[in-house]
Amino acid sequence: MSSFLPLLLRAVKRACTGCSLEVAEGVRTRRFDAGFALARPRATELDVE
């Protein structure tokens, strides 16, 4: 994940100026089923595996 995710995020940022990614919030509110993180999230209500 650490090899391709930064490249992907930079490409999205270039292609979609003014967009922001709020994946952690989407997982926390159950809008998304899962998310990836390089560090343990601060939100204690999230399950981390």
pTM tops 0.85, yes or no: no
Q: How much is the pLDDT for 17?
A: 82
Domain ranges of the chain: 1-34
**Residue range 1-49, pLDDT digits in tens:** 667 878 888 888 889 888 776 777 788 888 888 887 777 777 788 888 8
Q: For residue 41, give every residue at least 6 positions away whose Cβ sits within 8 Å of its Cβ, in sequence order, or none.
A: 24, 48
Cβ–Cβ under 8 Å, residues 36 and 45:
no
Q: How much is the pLDDT for 34?
A: 82
Q: How much is the pLDDT for 19?
A: 76
